[in-house]
Every structure is written in structure tokens, then in C-alpha cells.
Structure 1
Amino acid sequence: MLNRLYKPPFPLCNKSINIVIGEPMEFNLPKMTQMAISMSRNLHNPIRGWPVLSPSGLDEAAQRCLYTSISEQIHTSMESLRSLSKKLSGAKSLNSGQVEE
């Protein structure tokens, strides 16, 4: 018996979908690595679970700082795309005569 909550992995007919693709992301890893190393010097309580030294020679605290920096940049870009998608969706709704939610 099929689960009634099952949703197909593709859009249903007569459903509107928007796909927003942003600019390519660029990471200046040498600069980010140096910044992570300098920021990590101020951290005193390392969290266990990270490799003691990575292949690039970063200690645990520097790895966490680098990871956080990259994650924040990705998060900012994703939020920007989400905002753009909402604006485009709202403009499309207004142009087609639909009421915006």
C-alpha cells in the first residue's frame, strides 16, 4: 500500500516553479586561510572532533574559523537568491493580475 504522504520527486502538472541561478561564488582561499589562522589565535576553547592538523597544516581552531567564513559566504549568497526569487515571484504575480500574498 502506498503511503498517502508520498510526494513525487518532480513538479506536478499546472504548478509554477521558479529557478533562480546566481553568480558563481569565488573564494580567495589563501587570504581566507591566513585570516582564519589570525582569528584562531584568539580562540581558547577548541571543540573536539576536528582533525588536529589538516593536510594544509591548519590546527583545529583555524579549521573552524575557515569553515565558518566559507559557510557565512554561502549563507549570504543563498539569502540573496531567496530574496531575489521572492521579488521576481511578486512581480510576476502583479503582472499576471494575481493578488500577492
Structure 2
Amino acid sequence: MILLGLLAKQLGCPDYFGENWDALEECLRDLSWLPAGPVILEHADVPLVRDIANARIYLAILADATHETSRSDRPLHVVFPADFHGQISWLLRL
């Protein structure tokens, strides 16, 4: 999946990153390879919007990772443009 490869590259995920949902969840909950400080994952749109099942998985992973890292020295912050907040809410309600 292109999204997983792009995220791995942008975040500098470790070489063992397996480019699957489980590996993404593990890496986003860890982030230990990055310097201390907030990690901001900024989106231009909602990825996978035409693949609802995978879009929901991705959003759930992001929500879990932001919660899990909120008290760490590398808190994950996920940003979507305001224009897409309704679309995200819709996906999460399905």
C-alpha cells in the first residue's frame, strides 16, 4: 500500500517496518527512533477515502497512537485540514 510506504519514509521508520497495519500501529505507538518532542503527522486530505474499510483502520490506528503517546516525550499529533473534519467524522460513524 502506497500510504504505508510514504508514512515509513516521511517518519523515517526503522528498517524492520513491515508496511502493514500492525507494523504502522507499533511504530506510531513507539516513535523512539525520533528525537524527543512532538511528532506532527500533517495530512493534505483523508487518505484511502475510496477504501472505506482501510480508511477506518488508518483513522483508528492514528487515534490509538495519539492517545498512547500523549504522555510520552514524543507525543503524536495528527492534523487534517478543517475541510475534511466532517468526512473523518462520517468515516468513524460507519
Q: TM class by shorter-chain length?
A: under 0.3
TM-score (norm 2): 0.26
Structure label with greater radius of gyration: 1
Higher strand fraction: Structure 1 or Structure 2?
Answer: 2
TM-score (norm 1): 0.24
